[in-house]
Amino acid sequence: MAVLELTGILDRALQGEPLSPEEGLRLAQGPPEELPALLEAAAELRDRGHARRVRFSRSLFLPLTNLCRNRCAYCGFRREPGQPGQHTMTFEEVRRDCRRAFRAGCTEALFCLGDRPESRWPSHLETLRRLGVDSTAEQVAAACRIALEEGLLPHTNAGALTREELARLKPLNASMGLMLESASPLPAHDGCPDKAPQVRLRVLREAGELRIPFTSGLLLGIGETPRQRVEALAILRDLHREFGHIQEVILQNFRPDKSLPHPPGVGPGLEEMARTMAVARLMLGAAFNLQAPPNLNPQGLGLLLRAGLNDFGGVSSLTPDHINPEAPWPQVGDLARVCAEEGLHLVERLPVHPKFLDRPGFLVPEIRRRAEEISFRTGGTR
């Protein structure tokens, strides 16, 4: 009976029918012996949608500030004013790093920062004013302009921005992002105003209304249940159906870091990651871009490729992953080799996925022109 049920669900997914959260949950909670069939179906769907190509972008990671008004239980990035390691980048540092990255062949300036720190620490406003701006959103806009001047395409992750801030940053970005993480309230997000599910969903919806190519995804292993995972995947799929703006879904595995006093979980093991990737592929369908950070899964890249992954996201040869500094980036040559072992081709992309370059309303003409220029310069990255 269980085998029949599995076959029926996989057949529906392979025919392009949307699976319900109940069906996703059935796949997520199936016995270990079902895993090979799940992986096979997920890889087949990925191959139909992506012609055996796996993409990545050459990225520069710019942590504009590690102050943040939230207090996520799993965060090793956040610092408070005066703590060792607290830093807000100057615009000179942004320009210097962008120049270096341009010379090294990067195309993406990835801006990551804490949420709206000035609302928690008024003293941070003085820092911002010394930089010549009045808010974190203005700081991000100025940094994006510098990246564009230096020949890179910005991708901004600046937390739960307002609709007005999203609209202001759209003409300065090739794409933007906000991890949904979870669509359910979790203890790991106690004391985090910007992690309330309704706030994340508001941002994702407004990004769609504003036609911003948008990256989102789930953070796995922070205390969520399998049901909450599949419900969050269904929500991302439905938002994309409505607005067509989700350019990729990241499945990011939480990795406890020794410095965390009370980690909210242990993070998923490799098999759980692979099963979740396969369920995501089967729920989201052939065309979605599905990503897992390669530096957080160094031993599992082949298995994740077999589970339907088609994107490695931004990979930096110059800067560490400041959110997970203990996890070094792999070499591009190593990624290419793992892909080849699975019969797949690694292909470089811009920070915006190719399908958005010609889609009306998504990129302002200036960003599209720069994307075409960079594509030409780097030998057809699109």
Nearest to 21 by CA among 369, 332, 244, 283: 283
Separation of alpha carbons 159 and 117, rounded Å: 11
Contact between 203 and ligand SF4 (CB under 6 A)? no
Count, residues in the chain: 382
In the complex, minimum distance from the CB of residue 54 to ligand SF4, in angstroms, rounded to a whole number: 27
Among 21, 63, 114, 264, binds ligand SF4 (CB under 6 A): 114
Stretch touching ligand SF4 by CB under 6 A, among 9-17, 66-74, 287-295, 355-363? 66-74
Separation of alpha carbons 340 and 17, rounded Å: 30
Decide whether 71 or 163 has the Cβ nearer to ligand SF4.
71
Residues 312, 316, 319, 325: what is their CA dihedral angle, to the nearest 10 degrees? Answer: 20
Among 97, 108, 115, 348, binds ligand SF4 (CB under 6 A): 115
Three-state SS at 49: helix
Contact between 110 and ligand SF4 (CB under 6 A)? no
* Residue with token string 């062949």: 105
The two tokens of residue 106 are 């990067």
Among 45, 62, 64, 77, binds ligand SF4 (CB under 6 A): 77
Contact between 75 and ligand SF4 (CB under 6 A)? yes
Residues 6+ apart with CB under 8 A from 114: 65, 66, 67, 68, 69, 70, 77, 78, 159
Decide whether 6 or 207 has the Cβ nearer to ligand SF4.
207
Decide whether 114 or 300 has the Cβ nearer to ligand SF4.
114
Stretch touching ligand SF4 by CB under 6 A, among 32-40, 65-73, 256-264, 289-297? 65-73
Decide whether 63 or 330 has the Cβ nearer to ligand SF4.
63
Contact between 70 and ligand SF4 (CB under 6 A)? yes
In the complex, minimum distance from the CB of residue 160 to ligand SF4, in angstroms, rounded to a whole number: 9
End-to-end CA distance of the chain: 46
> Exposure of 366 by Cβ count < 10 A (0-12 exposed, 13-18 middle, 19+ buried)?
exposed
Residues 6+ apart with CB under 8 A from 269: none
Separation of alpha carbons 71 and 56, rounded Å: 30
Decide whether 78 or 382 has the Cβ nearer to ligand SF4.
78
Separation of alpha carbons 267 and 254, rounded Å: 5
Contact between 78 and ligand SF4 (CB under 6 A)? yes
Contact between 68 and ligand SF4 (CB under 6 A)? yes
Stretch touching ligand SF4 by CB under 6 A, among 67-75, 170-178, 245-253, 352-360? 67-75
Contact between 116 and ligand SF4 (CB under 6 A)? no
Determine the residue type at 86. Answer: Q
Among 19, 72, 153, 371, binds ligand SF4 (CB under 6 A): 72
Per-residue interface string for the shown chain with ligand SF4, residues 147-176, x marking contact by CB under 6 A? ------------x-----------------
Q: How many residues bind ligand SF4 (CB under 6 A)?
A: 10
DSSP secondary structure string for all residues of 59-108: EEEEE-B---S---TT-SS---TTSTT--B--HHHHHHHHHHHHHTT--E
Beta bridge partners of 246: 214
Contact between 371 and ligand SF4 (CB under 6 A)? no
Sites of contact with ligand SF4 (CB under 6 A): 68, 70-72, 75, 77-78, 114-115, 159
